[in-house]
Chain A
Amino acid sequence: MILKTRLFGTTYGFKDVKEVLAKANEEKSGDVLAGVAARDTVERVAAKVVLSGLTLGDLRNHPVVPYEEDDVTRANQDGIDKDAFQKIQAMTVGGFREFILKSSGAEIKAIRDGLTSEMIAGVTKLMSNMDLVYAAKKIHNLATCNTTIGEKGTLSARLQPNHATDDLAGIMASTMEGISYGIGDAVIGLNPAIDSIESISAILNSFKDFMVKWDIPTQNCVLAHVTTQMEVLQKGVPMDLMFQSLAGSQVGNTAFGITVKLMDEAYALMKGEKSSIGPNCMYFETGQGSELSSDGHHGADQLTMEARCYGLAKRYNPFLVNTVVGFIGPEYLYDGRQMIRAGLEDHFMGKLTGLPMGVDVCYTNHMKADQNDLENLALLLNSADCTYVMGIPGGDDVMLMYQTSSYHDVAAMREISGKKPIKEFNKRMEELGILQDGKLTERAGDPSIFTV
C-alpha cells in the first residue's frame, strides 16, 4: 500500500487511508470546517492519484472508524458477501472506476455485495459529475412495499404535505393538491411538527383513509422518531413504511437517538405489524455532514461518512432511501455547486450500494443557492434515472423552512424525460383523469376534484 506520490515535482505523503480519502474529496465546506480537506487543489489531485492505486482490499482493511468501536462499521463489514469480495479485492480503485463505467448494470450487481462503504466512497471520489450520472443510470434497484419502485422508465415522487402545526385539514389539502398533480407514488409522507403518538396516529389514519376512499396504490408514512413509530405500530395503527434518519457512525446515530440494535428491533417489529404487502417496509433519510454536526465523524470526510449510512440502510432492505442534500446548511455544502456535486455523489453511492435511491433536491436560505441550482440538480438526477424526488406545494416547505422540488417540477421532469409514475399508480391517475400518456390533463392540478 503506497501512500505517497510526486506531482509536478512536489512530494505528497498521507499518513493513512482515511487521510487519502478525505483529501481526495471534491471541495466541500464541511470538510474544511472539519479540518480534513486538501490544503490546495494540487494536493487534492495528489490524493486522488494515491487513492486510484489503492486496492479495494486495502479499503476494506482500513475502515475510517475501527470495527471494534463502531456498530455501523460492524454492520457493514459483517454484511459483506465473501465470494463477491474475492472477485474484486485485488482491483485498484482506479481500475474499479473503469470497471463500473464499462460494465452493464447486471455485471455491477454481481459484485455489489462485496463492496464496503469505503470502497463505494473511494470510487466516487475519482468520478466526474458526468461519470456519476452515466454510472448511476445503469443501475435500477427495485423494491416492493404495496407497489414496486425503481423500474426503468419511472420517476417516482414522495408527496410531502407538511404543515406548520400538523393541522389535519391543512395536511389533507396539500395531499389532495399533490395527488391532483400525479405526485405520491413513492409515499405520502409527512414530517411531523409534533412528535406525539396521538397526532401521528391521526395523520397515518387520514392518509390511509384517503388511499382507500380514492383507491390510490401507494404507501403511507409519518417521519417521526422510530421509537414513537414503534409505539404507534403497537397500537395497531396502519403503517406501510417505517422511517428513521441515519448517520454513518455510532456516535452520529447516538445523536439521532438510535443504535443498530434498536433499528434491528424496530425492523423486526415492523415486519410483523406493518400494514403493507411487500417485503420492503423501511424508509431512511441521510445527508452529508450530519456526523460532523454531532462530532461523530472520527476525522473522516463527509462523503465517506455518507456512504456508511447507505451501508447501514442496506441491512434493512429499505423501500426508500434519500439524501436530503441541501438541508444541512452552507457550513457543510456552501453553494449550488457543492450541493449539485453532493447530490450526484449521494445518488450514485446509494445506487451502487443496491438501494432504491432518491434525492431530496433542496436548499436553505442561508446557502448561496437558488431555485435555478435546485432545478439544475433535478434535471441531472433525472438523466441519472434517480428513483424518486420530493414533491411539495410551490417548492416551499412551510414547516421545515427550506425549499425542495415542487409538484410542478416532478410533472415537468417526467414529461421532459418521458417517464411515468409507478405502474399501478399511473393507471389509477389515468382513471381519475389526472394523467394521460404521462402528461397532466386539463383536469390536473385542481385539489377540488377530491372534495366531492
Chain B
Amino acid sequence: MDEIIRDISEIDYTARVTIDNPRDKESCIRLKKTTNARICVGRAGERFKTETLLRFRADHAIAMDAVWSYVDESIVDQLGFFKVQTLVEDKEEYIRRPDLGRVFSKETIDRIKENCIHHPDVQIIAADGLSSCAINANLPNIYPMIVDGLTAKGYTIGTPIFVKYSRVATMDKISEALDAKVTILLVGERPGLATGESMSSYMAYESSTQKPESQRTVVSNIHKNGIPAVEAGAQIVNLVEVLMREKKSGVELKI
C-alpha cells in the first residue's frame, strides 16, 4: 500500500535517450547533451512514446496552472508590502485586457500617495504578472537580499508595493505617484514548458509613462534552474548603482 510511482518531473533528461535500437547510442547521448530540445525521444509508430507524452503534459500542466494561480498574500504581508490592485477585477479579465492591467483607479493612486514613502531612491514593486508561482517561489529569497544590498550602499528605499493583476507598465504609474529615482518591478514571466517559476526584474531610472518601453533594463529568467534568486539579487543591486550613477536606463544605458 505504501508503494508510489516515482515523480516523472524529476527524471533528468540532460542525456536521456529513449530511441529503440539507435545506430549509435553514444552519439545520441552526445547530441542530447548539446540542447534541452526534446530530441532522442524515439517513437511509437509515428507518435510519442507514453513517457514522452506524459512528461510533455506534466510540463504544460504546471505552466498553465502558474498562469491561473494567485500570489500567496501571507508572503507579501510578512515582507511588509503595501497591497493594491489595477483596474482588473478577476484573472479572466487580466488575461483578456492587458490595457486594464496597466492602470489604477484615482482612488488607488491616492491611497498609494497617502500610505507610501515619497521621493525614495529606490521603489520596489512585486507584481503577479503571468505567473504568481514565480513570485511565491522567488520573492521571499530575493527581496531581503535587495533591501540589504541597497541599504548597505546607503540608498533610501520606498514602501514596497504589491500589485495584483499587474502588467509591467504599472511601474511607471507608481514611480510618477511617488517620484522615485529608480523603480524595480519583480514580475512573474509568461511560463514556458516546465518553467512556471521564472521571474523577471524590470528596472528604470525615473520610470515614466512618457518614455518608451525601451527605458527599462531587464534581468530575466530568475528561478532555481535559471539565475538563482540570490545571484539575481546581487545583479539587481549592482544595476541600481549603475542607474543611479548614470541617471538613465534601458537602451540609453550601454552596459
- Residue of chain A at shortest CB distance from B195: A401
Q: In angstroms, how far is the closest chain B Cβ from the Cβ of A356? A: 25
- Contact status of A394 and B48, CB under 8 A, knowing A33-B96, A33-B99: yes
Stretch of B32-40, B112-120, B238-246 with 4 or more beta carbons under 8 angstroms from chain A: B32-40
Chain A contacts to B: CB under 8 angstroms: 29, 32-33, 161-164, 167, 169-171, 173-174, 176-177, 329-331, 334, 364-366, 370-371, 392-396, 398, 401, 403, 406, 408, 411-412, 415, 439-440, 442-449, 451-452
Tell me, in angstroms, the Cα distance from A29 to B41 when the chains sit together.
Answer: 37
- Contact status of A446 and B34, CB under 8 A, knowing A365-B60, A365-B64, A408-B47: no
B130 close to A163 (CB less than 8 A): no
- Contact status of A396 and B193, CB under 8 A, knowing A177-B39, A449-B23: yes
Tell me, in angstroms, the Cα distance from A449 to B32 when the chains sit together.
Answer: 14
A412 in complex: contacting residue of B35, B37, B46, CB < 8 Å: B46
Chain B contacts to A: CB under 8 angstroms: 19, 21-25, 27-28, 30-32, 34-43, 45-48, 52, 56-57, 59-60, 63-64, 66-67, 95-99, 130, 190-193, 195
Tell me, in angstroms, the Cα distance from A167 to B34 when the chains sit together.
Answer: 8
| Chain B neighbourhood of A406, CB < 8 A | 48
A415 close to B46 (CB less than 8 A): yes
- Contact status of A366 and B95, CB under 8 A, knowing A371-B60, A408-B48, A446-B23: yes
Q: Which 10 A-B pairs have the closest CB atoms?
A: A394-B38, A170-B35, A401-B192, A173-B31, A451-B27, A365-B63, A170-B34, A448-B27, A448-B24, A411-B46
B31 in complex: contacting residue of A164, A177, A331, CB < 8 Å: A177
Q: In angstroms, how far is the closest chain B Cβ from the Cβ of A135? A: 29
A408 close to B34 (CB less than 8 A): no
B31 close to A451 (CB less than 8 A): yes
- Residue of chain B at shortest CB distance from A177: B39
Tell me, in angstroms, the Cα distance from A163 to B32 when the chains sit together.
Answer: 12
A447 in complex: contacting residue of B39, B46, B60, B98, CB < 8 Å: B39
Main secondary structure on chain B at its contact with chain A?
Answer: loop
Known: A33-B96, A393-B37, A412-B46. 19 other contacts (CB 8 A): A161-B37, A167-B34, A173-B31, A173-B32, A174-B39, A334-B95, A334-B96, A364-B190, A365-B64, A365-B67, A365-B190, A393-B41, A394-B41, A394-B52, A395-B56, A398-B192, A408-B48, A440-B43, A440-B46
| Chain A neighbourhood of B63, CB < 8 A | 365
Q: In angstroms, how far is the closest chain B Cβ from the Cβ of A393? A: 4
- Contact status of A393 and B39, CB under 8 A, knowing A446-B19, A451-B27: yes
A448 close to B38 (CB less than 8 A): no
Tell me, in angstroms, the Cα distance from A32 to B98 when the chains sit together.
Answer: 12
B190 close to A401 (CB less than 8 A): yes
| Chain B neighbourhood of A440, CB < 8 A | 43, 46
A366 in complex: contacting residue of B21, B23, B24, B130, CB < 8 Å: B130
- Contact status of A445 and B28, CB under 8 A, knowing A331-B96, A365-B64, A398-B37: no
Q: In angstroms, how far is the closest chain B Cβ from the Cβ of A164? A: 7
Q: In angstroms, how far is the closest chain A Cβ from the Cβ of B195? A: 8
| Chain B neighbourhood of A365, CB < 8 A | 60, 63-64, 66-67, 190-193
Tell me, in angstroms, the Cα distance from A161 to B59 when the chains sit together.
Answer: 20
Tell me, in angstroms, the Cα distance from A187 to B239 when the chains sit together.
Answer: 42
B98 in complex: contacting residue of A161, A163, A331, A448, CB < 8 Å: A331
- Residue of chain A at shortest CB distance from B221: A164
B46 close to A331 (CB less than 8 A): no
| Chain A neighbourhood of B56, CB < 8 A | 371, 394-396
Tell me, in angstroms, the Cα distance from A163 to B38 when the chains sit together.
Answer: 11
Q: In angstroms, how far is the closest chain B Cβ from the Cβ of A207? A: 16
| Chain A neighbourhood of B195, CB < 8 A | 401
B37 close to A394 (CB less than 8 A): yes
Tell me, in angstroms, the Cα distance from A331 to B95 when the chains sit together.
Answer: 6
Q: In angstroms, how far is the closest chain A Cβ from the Cβ of B82? A: 27
